[in-house]
Chains A and B, each alone.
Chain A
Amino acid sequence: MQVKWRNTLKNGWRYAALAPILLLNGCAGNPYWIFDPKGLMADTNLFYLLVDVGIMGTIVGLTALLVVWFMWRYQKGKNRGKYDPAWSHSNTIEVVVWGIPIIAVGFLSYFAVTGTFEINPYNPTIITNHLKPASDPVEVDVIATDWQWLFVYPQYHMAVANELVLPAHTPVFFRLTSTAVTTTFFIPQLVGMIDVMPGMRTKNALESNNTGEYQGIASDYAGAGTSWMTFKTKMLSASDFGQWVQRVQQSPASMTYTSFNNYADPYINVHHKVAYFSSVQDGLFDHVIDEVMNGKTWPIPPMMTENMVAYMQKQNAEHRD
């Protein structure tokens, strides 16, 4: 029932509201990622955005028109409207001007609360209430370093750096942490932002029924390499995903607690290098959190950010992947 009226709303409002934007951009791929969601979470976000803008836009728009009308009607010397130099109070108007915002805020509060639960990153009911018995969720442990992403697939004992590959039609549950500083995990078309913090574990989830490639972003400033700390998210069909897993599992590199220590050293990923690790030492995610909580840091050398050219030469000389 609820789903039905929501769909009507979405399809109706969405295209009505976005018609100018859609016309502007034609059909060659919508650059407005927020208006072009490809996953359940992002879809839900857009729904609430449209409800909010619908209600508030109406009020704000009408208020703007009212102001413009008053400006036109009561301009000095035009004698369009009556001038009443003492008029400054009306109980009716007071009730209306307090009433409209109160009703609007009350109405929006309902949506704000339901929406918060539906896309609660720790337990998004929009996904968890509709879990199909057959679809085994995929788990991904996300470890952000300065300034790379490591995606560990504990179910497959493998990891991928700076590229996230996921199966479509399957719920995905993330656990996230960081080695050095705080940043934010964000895939605009699939899932909203969640902070990634050192020594802490946050969670997020997504589900998408669309295959394709979507941009992932580190959306919180984490230092010099933040702008290059992007990753492609590939949603594959179940069979393609299986093949991809096999390919990763055949790669030569592996990730242990020791090699992770080197991997986590500050590195600006200007060439968007992707690396596959066929095996990952068990419990890496928890190990990283423990290490950080016990005081482990990966300090940034002062020279690193002052001059990018010198830094890039140093980075190349070290032949780091």
Chain B
Amino acid sequence: MLVDLAGGWSPMLGRLAWSQIPYDNPILAPLFVAVVIGAILVLGLITYYGKWTYLWKEWLTTVDHKKLGVMYILIGLVMLFRGFIDGLMIRTQQAWGVGSHSSGVFGALHGYLTPFHFGQVYSAHGVIMILLAATPLLVGFMNIIVPIQIGARDMAYPYLNALGLWITAAAGALIMISLFVGDFAHNGWFGYAPIFELQYSPGVGVDYWIWTMELVALGTTLGGINILATIIKMRAPGMTWGRLPIFVWATLSANVIALTSFPALQVALALVAADRYLGAHFFTAGLGGNLMLYTNLFWIWGHPEVYFVILPAFGMMSEIFPTFSEKPLFGYITMVLASMAIAGVSWLVWLHHFFTMGAGPYVNSAFSVATMLVGIPTGVKVFNWAFTMYRGRLTFNAAMLWAIGALFLLLIGGLTGMMLAVPAINYMVHNSVFVVAHFHSMLLTIVYAIFASVIYWFPKVFGFKLDEFWAKTMFWLFSAGTALVFVPMYMLGFMGMTRRLDYVFNTVWHPYLLVMEFGIAVYMLSVLAFFALLYVSIRDHAKNQVGADAWGTSRSLEWLTHSPVPFYNFAVLPHISARDEVAWRRDNGIDHVQPDHYEDIHMPNNTGVAIILGGLTFVLGFALVWRIWWLCALTLLAIIALVIYRSFKGDPGYIITAAELEKMEKEAMRREAQVGKQRRQAGSGVLGEAIAYERSDLPPLVSRPSSPVGLDHRS
């Protein structure tokens, strides 16, 4: 051992011991029992219905970008719920442990969480919400939508895509198991130097934090490479850069950020690991370490990461506003420029996370101005969305409501962001709950955009719409929760309340904290509404089936193919003629044109390697956390061997013959025609019945562009 460890260590089990299982913890022990019962129930049901083969063949070994995307989103939703429960625990502690006379239970002086436990809860909340909820949810949507929007059959590297998913899943599993085996970091989601050093955090919590973040970073970097390659190389014929759907542009800018910034995080965390495992002194206070270096390194990733999650959300909003305004996006070119500008500036602003660390006024000024520059392209985006609605025909369905909610939250987050960008203001509210309220405004912008997208793209993926009533109910409950939690939080920020207090010393703040607790209860209702939404929608799915163009006013390419999207995406790869291809075809009356013949399709095979690698990665992470060196070596060797094996084996793929394809297409079209007939009899809804493809035997089309006047949309 290169470092002194508190507690025991054995060659066989490392630091693992029975005492590390919190069986006496009054919160965790019952939860553990519930989880075990739940798991047995789920596994039992799968066995009872004999679904193991189906699960393995259709989901666990799949390389289909849509299924992988759905699994990303499922992971994201599960982690979003876990993070929400953490949030509920934080709010409850702060509503309870106020003033020196407040009661305490479970070993806490005030409230029900000891400081150490409270620290773990909010650290887990942050890590989960940013890296394991927002990131997988967005990566999931990129995965599903981008290939269809650019007219590709799959991602550039389908196997790599699966690998990214299962590594992300391993990270999620690692943070979840820290609940029941050992503990989690208490140093906040971004970690402070030197509190994460062994002297100040002797347990395994920080190690869980390091390896969870490393794994997510690895998974997201792999995903980023894949998405970039897909967008650059896999576009359908005619899909020029100027015709790329705006969500693809947003994804492109976001993944440029991901690919270039995540390595910085991985290096920073590797150095922390060197300190904790090898006794190095990168970030210690003494012996030549530099703790400020960590903060810089972390935020050199951390700030671009913020834009990595917000840019796809902007892209989603840019897709949804035009569809429900029934006109093209205003200022497509400036939207693209704005996305790229945000991605570029995102590299120049990291220091605004620590204006208070003592940098001189010249440095602080420079980063302050750079930070405010972000406000320019972001402001342009907001105006462009507003002018997309201008002279439109607005339908306020659930997806549109969520998108508008995101717009207003962005306004609030932008206003407070411009305040925080000024050091003279920042000094007063840095590390206060005002900052917490600000970045929750921004992250909730993302959450709103994600729920808008769930409703918007659900019919594309599953072939039926979600229930409008419950989607709207959830929106209003969620918005009420947002107002009740974050308006008081902004007010508390102006009262000087600082963040991460497990004991609140000022009783004046108590009423506000109680209002926030009530807000969390309202959020809980919105979670229930979400479950109701899923239940009702699945129950009534026969009634809500849709055709290719689920909304009737859709614009981009993903609405050209069937809903649900067949595993080969497009029977015949479409030739792209306009920026808003589906709208253009609709305008030109060729959205019902059928392909004149089919050709063989080459598709990638499923592979079990990705999930096995994911499992091994999880074991490796676990072994590293507990310092079980033999297991580390074993899993690492196994991973390397498996990667080499798979590289030599390769994947020849398989062929769907034209005849098979035609059969499947006929079936899909028959279904859609039936749905369309029902819909017409019911006398509601617009429905695209069949797929249109560019055909050589059709006369050249006279374009009536729905794209920008004065700009050649065909260029």
Contacts and interface: CB of A to CB of B under 8 A. Distances in A.
A194 B355 CA distance: 9
Nearest to B198: A299
13 contacts: A33-B496, A66-B386, A82-B391, A86-B706, A97-B383, A104-B379, A105-B376, A112-B424, A113-B369, A119-B423, A180-B200, A181-B192, A188-B428
Interface string A217-259: 1111111111110100000000000000000000000000000
A108 B368 CA distance: 10
A134 interface: no
B570 to A, nearest CB: 26
Contact of A230 (B334, B368, B494, B505): B505
B331 A115 contact: no
Given A74-B393, A115-B424, A308-B114, A215 B496 contact: yes
Contacts of A275: none
Given A192-B430, A223-B195, A227-B115, 9 more contacts: A33-B495, A45-B425, A66-B386, A76-B393, A88-B707, A105-B375, A112-B368, A195-B354, A221-B195
Interface of A: 21, 31-35, 42, 44-46, 48-49, 52-53, 56-57, 59-60, 63-64, 66-67, 70-71, 74-76, 81-91, 93-94, 96-98, 100-102, 104-105, 108-109, 111-113, 115-123, 146, 180-182, 184, 186, 188-189, 192-195, 197-200, 202-203, 215, 217-228, 230, 270, 292-302, 305-310, 312
Ranked 8 nearest A-B pairs via Cβ: A192-B427, A115-B424, A188-B496, A305-B116, A101-B379, A198-B285, A97-B383, A33-B496
B386 A70 contact: yes
Nearest to B493: A34
Contacts of A113: 365, 368-369
Interface in B188-215: 188, 192-195, 199-203
Interface in B105-123: 107-109, 114-116, 119
Interface stretch (B81-89, B133-141, B162-170, B356-364): B356-364
Nearest to B380: A97
Interface in B257-310: 284-287, 291-292
A100 B383 CA distance: 10
Interface of B: 6-7, 104, 107-109, 114-116, 119, 186-188, 192-195, 199-203, 284-287, 291-292, 325-332, 334, 354, 356-358, 360-361, 364-365, 368-369, 372-373, 375-376, 378-380, 382-396, 404, 407-408, 411-412, 414-415, 418-419, 421-432, 491, 493-496, 498-506, 508-509, 705-711
Nearest to A199: B285
Contacts of B325: 74
Contacts of B392: 70, 74, 83
A215 B506 contact: yes
Contact of A83 (B329, B379, B393): B393
B328 A56 contact: no
A35 to B, nearest CB: 6
Nearest to B372: A105
Contact of A193 (B427, B493, B509, B711): B427
B270 to A, nearest CB: 21
Nearest to A197: B291
B394 A75 contact: yes
Contacts of B195: 181-182, 221-223
Nearest to B366: A113
B259 to A, nearest CB: 28
A45 B376 contact: no
Given A70-B386, A181-B194, A299-B199, A49 B419 contact: yes
Nearest to A105: B372
A228 B386 contact: no
Given A31-B508, A294-B287, A312-B109, A45 B424 contact: yes
A305 B203 CA distance: 11
A313 B390 CA distance: 67
Contacts of B391: 74, 81-84, 87
Contacts of A186: 431, 496, 498
A203 B356 CA distance: 11
A60 B202 CA distance: 47
A8 B158 CA distance: 65
Given A52-B422, A84-B391, A219 B376 contact: no
Contacts of A96: 383
A226 B119 CA distance: 11
Nearest to B373: A105
